Amino acid sequence: MARESWASKLGFMLAAMGSAVGLGNIWRFSYVAGENGGGAFLILYLISVLVIGIPLLLVEVSIGRKAQSDVVGSYEKLAPGKPWYLAGFFGIGASLLILGFYSVVAGWSFYYFWNYLNGFFFNEPQEGYGPAFESFTTTLTQPLIWHGLFMVVTILIVLSGVKKGIELANKIFMPLLAILLIILAGFSLSLDGAAEGMRFLFQPDWSVLSDPTVYISALGQAFFSLSLGVGAMMTYGSYLSSSHKLPGATFGIGIMDTLFAIISGVVIFPAVFAFSIEPDSGPVLVFITLPSIFNQMPFGGYVGILFFLSLSLAAISSSVSLLEVPVSYLMRAASWTRRKAAMVSGLIIFILGIGASLGMGVLAGVTPIGENNIMDSMDYIASNIFLPLGGMTMALFVGWHFTKRTALEAADLSGTGLGSVWYGLVRYIAPILIVIIFLQALGLF
């Protein structure tokens, strides 16, 4: 059977944007920016996106398009008999790990959407939003049911195929998401006291730069948000033909993703400051802080419906790209049908997620890394270690395994001045910066 492909370049762009824009832009960006002091973090994040992220996005998509294969197959095809393909397995592992906790948080988002839609959360629950969130996430079965439901939706889209599943879903979700977020941002900006939130987000407080963890957090956030380093973008690139040019498309995807992160910041921080809440309340910012804010706002319940609908849509369009990584591998390497590959991989992810979910409750005492519970540890390992390492391997592959000519051809940059700049970034600057940031996070630099 012929390999699947996108129906159009626009379809690819929307799917890739859908992959990039997700819980990472709304939930993760807002709490990581909040914890790292706002404006100065934003600047480090923007530098990471421009100097490392977008060039590596072009690297990743161009490998996939050239090889026309999944993460493992792409390396095998372009470097037969060499150990590069191991990086592909590493990518599959990382995508399972990420989707394992991602789908749990997405399940919470479904639950919140459902409760707003029903009007249950229109008024603060008797015990308060904080304890309500806690009692929901610490029970055994409730969060697992929503996590399972989210995985079912993800599996259904992926098993419907590249065109009829992934591309179609993104064509509907992405424009809707953009409209919803812009409405929410307008609402947030109209609140009294919004200016302070904007100052927090846009006026850098340079003193946070003396904290060594800010740099790795900014880099990890850039990788996570751009879906880089696990092979999701490589797999999406493999469904493109060489008639579609890459540099403009990848630049557009990177810029849109960044815009979505900034717009989410504009939705969240003005509201946080308008209601005098601390911006560094961590991963619960979106699930406890925002509902309390909505509760005090005019029409807040409706804002809650829109917000959690946006969050759920954004999560689905990203999770399908994560599931597609093992699915496209299994379809080729094990000759499985799409249906079987999607169901088996989805089941494995569901099981991984059980650990992350129970880590909020009965397994709360299990802290694999420092004081981080299971979910935060999965996130930390995946985002701050696996993704940058995966991305660095891709950069080294294109920068050192390919000749300069092959690299530029694969990226549609032959004969352009920009080509040499990109090549220099990929061959030297990005790998060196990633190594420095790593050493620095380990306290060695």
Query: Which positions lie near ligand PHE, rule CB under 6 A?
Result: 19-20, 22-25, 98, 224-225, 227, 230, 232, 318, 321-322
User: Would you say 96 or 272 has its CB closer to ligand PHE?
Assistant: 96
User: Would you say 59 or 194 has its CB closer to ligand PHE?
Assistant: 59
User: At its nearest, how many Å lie between ligand PHE and the CB of residue 302?
Assistant: 25
User: At its nearest, how many Å lie between ligand PHE and the CB of residue 415?
Assistant: 32
Question: Measured at CB, which residue is nearest to ligand PHE?
Answer: 24
User: Would you say 46 or 277 has its CB closer to ligand PHE?
Assistant: 46
d(CA 249, CA 255) in angstroms, rounded, equals: 10
User: Would you say 295 or 393 has its CB closer to ligand PHE?
Assistant: 393
User: At its nearest, how many Å lie between ligand PHE and the CB of residue 166?
Assistant: 12
Angle at 181 between CA 225 and CA 303, to 5 degrees: 125
User: Would you say 277 or 385 has its CB closer to ligand PHE?
Assistant: 385
Residue 208 gets which letter from DSSP?
Answer: G
User: At its nearest, how many Å lie between ligand PHE and the CB of residue 384?
Assistant: 13
User: Would you say 70 or 412 has its CB closer to ligand PHE?
Assistant: 70
Compute the residue count for the chain. Answer: 445
Residue of 214, 218, 223 lying closest to 383 (CA atoms): 223
User: Would you say 168 or 323 has its CB closer to ligand PHE?
Assistant: 323
- Maximum Cα–Cα distance across the chain: 66
User: At its nearest, how many Å lie between ligand PHE and the CB of residue 283?
Assistant: 14
Half-sphere exposure of 418 (CA within 13 A, CB side): 9
User: Would you say 254 or 304 has its CB closer to ligand PHE?
Assistant: 254
User: At its nearest, how many Å lie between ligand PHE and the CB of residue 368?
Assistant: 20
CA distances from 320 to 173, 189, 345 (A): 12, 32, 12
> Cα 136 vs. chain centroid, distance in angstroms?
24
Question: With contact defined as beta carbons under 8 Å apart, do 40 and 204 qualify?
Answer: yes
DSSP assignment of 398-442 equals IIIIS-HHHHHHHTT-TT-HHHHHHHHIIIIIHHHHHHHHHHHHT
Residue type, 429: I
Residue type, 340: K
d(CA 271, CA 292) in angstroms, rounded, equals: 10
Give me the phi and psi of 369, to 5 degrees please. -125, 115
User: At its nearest, how many Å lie between ligand PHE and the CB of residue 256?
Assistant: 12
User: At its nearest, how many Å lie between ligand PHE and the CB of residue 225?
Assistant: 4
User: Would you say 253 or 297 has its CB closer to ligand PHE?
Assistant: 253
Give me the phi and psi of 180, to 5 degrees please. -60, -45
CA distances from 50 to 57, 258, 408, 411, 430 (A): 10, 10, 19, 17, 11
User: At its nearest, how many Å lie between ligand PHE and the CB of residue 151?
Assistant: 15
